[in-house]
Structure 1
């Protein structure tokens, strides 16, 4: 009976030891599992933190881009407003140009018509060339490839040429009609005050009579004065006082 008790006690001790060992092993296993779980969790935490940093950086970049886009949008808005105002100004200018054009085109036709009438009534100084210039202006007016500005410039140029006829001394070779006969002659004009012609041999001279619209024979005694005048016009001698017959009648002012 006494032997049984120690054995029973030993068995209890043995069982207790096994139980402790088993519990310790379980604890170690749990600890290892916990450590592994903690490590895995830490890795996930680190990964989430890293992702959070990346996302934070992307957010900051996006915010910076949004700011830049806002600045650019403001710039475009201001630019569009400016272009709209400029477009309005251009549209107003186009309307004004169209209005001006509607007024300037009739004016140019009137200027050409007036100049043509003046030439037909003026002294016959290079009349053919002057009328030919008018004919070219009339053809130019209906050309689409010539701007209105260029047309106007050419008309003003024609007026300038006509103005110079009235202030210059000039000589040229041309034709005149005396009676029913056409003659090749030398013609000289002193502005629009005097228009004379002489034969190519210089022996016969005529003066234009504007009121009667015809050439009249001049006395031979005026030949020396005419010779001087032609030499001056042709720049063969220095200018001097000239005596020439008048082609225009000057009305005395009382």
Structure 2
């Protein structure tokens, strides 16, 4: 009887040990699954965190891009406003140019006529050359391939040349009409528009232009020394100095 009880006790202990071992293995298996699940969950959490950080970075980049685009849009808007203002200003300037052109063209014709009148009433200093310049200006006014600005510049240039005739000492060769039937080639000297004299090519005879009669008047031989000095000075053979020249000599007065 005692032996049976002892056997039953061993069987019970064995079953208990087997049950405990099976329970331990189950617990270990569950623990392993829990650990695996926890690792997988942590991995998903880490991935979600990285994705969240990446999205935040993208959002910040997009915000910065939007900010830059807003600044650029405002900049373009200001440029457009400025261009519109310039367009309006240009339209006004173009309209003003048209009005100015309408006033400048008649003025240029008046300036040419004024030059022509001046030359025709002035001492006959290089008259043919000066009248030829006026003819070129008149022809130029009808040329469509020359701008109004260039036409105006050439007219001003002609005025400057005429002004130089009034201030400079000059010398050139040309014809002198001593009478309706007699013309000779002579050396012509002018000092501005104050004096205009002629000397024969042989240097023996002298004349002075008389503004009162618009004719050449013969000069006496005793003025030859002073006039020769003026000619030498005009041709730069001697240094500049004081010279004596007749001024609009009147025949009756002399």
**TM-score, length of structure 2 as denominator length:** 0.75
Q: Does 1:186 align with 2:184?
A: no
Question: Residues 60-99 of structure 1 correspond to what in structure 2 (within 5 A)?
Answer: 60-99=60-99
SS at match of 2:71: helix
In structure 2, runs of 5+ residues without a counterpart are none
- What is residue 131 of structure 1 aligned with on the other side? 131
CA contact (8 A) 2:123 2:193 kept: yes
Does 1:162 pair with 2:162?
Answer: yes
Query: 1:1-254, aligned counterparts within 5 Å?
Result: 21-142=21-142, 147-177=147-177, 178-210=179-211, 213-216=214-217, 218=218, 222-235=220-233, 236=238, 238-246=241-249
> CA shift at 1:184, angstroms?
0.6
How many residues matched? Answer: 246
- For the 8 Å contact 1:172–1:186, the answer to whether it is kept is yes
Greater alpha carbon shift after TM alignment, 185-194 vs 240-249:
240-249
Q: 1:234 is paired with a residue of what secondary structure?
A: helix
Please report how far the alpha carbon of residue 57 of structure 1 lies from its aligned counterpart in structure 2 after TM superposition: 2.0
SS of 2:241's partner is coil
- Distance in 2, matches of 1:83 and 1:244, equals 64
Deviation at 1:4, TM superposition (A): 9.0
- 3-state SS of 2:90 partner: helix
Partners in 1 of 2:29 and 2:186 — Cα distance?
Answer: 139
Q: TM-score, normalised by structure 1?
A: 0.75
Q: Offset at 1:130?
A: 0.9
1:107/1:166 Cα in 2 relative to 1: closer, same or farther (>3 Å)?
same
122-131 vs 140-149, which moves further: 140-149
Worse overlay, 161-170 or 34-43: 161-170
Q: Is the 8 A contact 2:137 2:155 kept in 1?
A: yes
Structure 1: any 5+ residue segments left out of the alignment? 250-254
Q: Alpha carbon RMSD of aligned pairs, Å?
A: 3.6
Instruction: Sort the Cα spacing of 1:230 and 1:112 in 2 relative to 1 into closer, same or farther, 3 A.
Output: farther
State the Cα distance separating 1:2 from its structure 2 match.
11
Deviation string 1:102-158 (CA, Å, 9 cap, x unpaired) is 322221222112212321232211111112222333344455665544432332232
Deviations 1:34-88 (A, max 9, x none): 2211211111111111111122222222223332333333333333333333343
Distance 1:241 1:109, change over 3 A: same
1:210–1:248 CA contact under 8 A, matched in 2: no
